[in-house]
Amino acid sequence: MRENYRLYRFLTEVEDVLNSSDNETNCLPEIRMLVRRLIVNSYWVQSQSLEPSSKTESSVLLLYDELGFPLTVQTVTFAPGTHSNIHNHGTWGIVAVLKGQEKNTFWRRTDSPEFQDKIEATGEITLFPGDIISFTPDAIHSVEAVGDEPTVTFNIYGETDPNERFEFDLVSHKAKNF
């Protein structure tokens, strides 16, 4: 019961931060601090994860998603060596690594005249337990679980615009909604 209170207090604090600004992206540093406080002070959050599915080598445990409330909170588990597709989220997001290691590769659209959705890699960073990263709605990335143990992350996202969430194909140079 106390852990539910912590999660709802956290969500209320995030909502207060978002409501205090006209630009959600400007709120990301303050929300990262709230995420850090939650994961450091909550064993419950640290312990909420599923084993990776043998079929997909990943799993998602939804901790909070309420119709009409623009936040989604979940933990994501990737088996070692698992790669995500190249994607954006169509909203802001914050990811905190709870266990394992996660390599993020960042991409940008090159918008060549021939291929409107052509992308190129711009950098990468490997995150370790305790590391927190935030993404703007237009950020494009892919994720790989590196190391010998599953990677578990705590993720919070704003309200996704489904018309702005894409998966990118490096071969066809096309983006499709997902």
Q: pLDDT tens-digit profile of 20-78?
A: 999 999 999 999 999 999 999 988 888 888 999 999 999 999 999 888 888 999 999 99
Token reading at 62 = 């939804």
Tokens linked to 71: 């936040």
What pLDDT, on the 0 to 100 scale, is given for residue 66?
Answer: 85
For the segment 163-168, the average pLDDT, to the nearest whole number, is 90
What is the pTM assigned to this prediction?
A: 0.92
How far, CA to CA in Å, does 132 sit from each of 81, 98, 109? 21, 9, 24
- Pairing mode, strands 140-146 and 58-65: unpaired
pLDDT at 1 over 70: no
6 residue type, one letter = R
Residue where the block lists tokens 């291929």 = 115
- Average pLDDT across the chain, whole number: 92
The matching CATH number, chosen from 3.30.390.30, 2.60.120.10, 1.20.1250.20, 3.30.413.10, for 7-177 is 2.60.120.10
- Structure confidence at residue 14 (pLDDT): 96
First-last CA distance in the chain: 35
**Residue, of 2 and 139, whose pLDDT is higher:** 139
Q: How far is CA 60 from the centre of its chain?
A: 11
At residue 60, the pLDDT reads 95
Instruction: Name the band, by pLDDT with cuts 50, 70 and 90, for residue 127.
Output: very high
Residues 6+ apart with CB under 8 A from 23: none
Confidence (pLDDT) at 161: 82
Strand spans (E) along the chain: 58-65, 72-78, 86-87, 93-99, 101-109, 119-127, 132-135, 140-146, 151-157, 166-169, 174-177
Whether residue 63 contacts residue 74, with contact meaning beta carbons closer than 8 Å, is answered with: yes
Please tell me the least confidently modeled range out of 87-96, 149-158, 165-174: 165-174
pLDDT at 43: 86
Take residue 45 and report the two structure tokens written for it: 């959050």
pLDDT of 139 = 95
Cβ atoms of 33 and 47 within 8 Å: the answer is no
The domains of the chain are located at 7-177
Return the closest-CA partner of residue 157 out of 95, 87, 82, 114: 95
β-strands 72-78, 93-99 pairing: unpaired
Query: Please, which pLDDT band fits residue 111 given cuts at 50, 70 and 90?
Result: confident
Q: Is the pLDDT of residue 3 over 70?
A: no
